[in-house]
Amino acid sequence: MLIIKSILYRLIRILLLLLTSFLILGNIETAFSISIIDAVIATIYYYYFDKFWKRIEFKLLKRK
C-alpha cells in the first residue's frame, strides 16, 4: 500500500508543478520540461538523502 501512496503522491506533485509552471509561464513545453527536471532531481535527492540518513540520524541523536 505504501508504494501506491508514494506513486500517487509523486504524480500529484508533478501535476501541481506542471499546472503552476504553466500558469506562471504560459508555455506548456517549458512547464513540462520544468516538471520532468524537478521529478528527476527530486528522485536523485531522495535516494541520496535516504542513503545518508543513518549518518545524519546518528549525529543528531549523539548531540542529545
The answer for 26, left when phi > 0, alpha when psi is -120 to 50, beta otherwise, is left
Q: pLDDT tens for residues 27-63?
A: 999 999 999 999 999 989 988 998 898 888 888 888 7
pLDDT bin (cut points 50, 70, 90) of residue 1 is confident
For the chain, what is the domain count? 1
What confidence tens digit (pLDDT) does each residue in 6-35 have? Answer: 899 999 999 999 999 999 999 999 999 999
Host domain of residue 39: 2-63
User: Of 36, 30, 46, 33, which Cα lies nearest the Cα of 13?
Assistant: 36
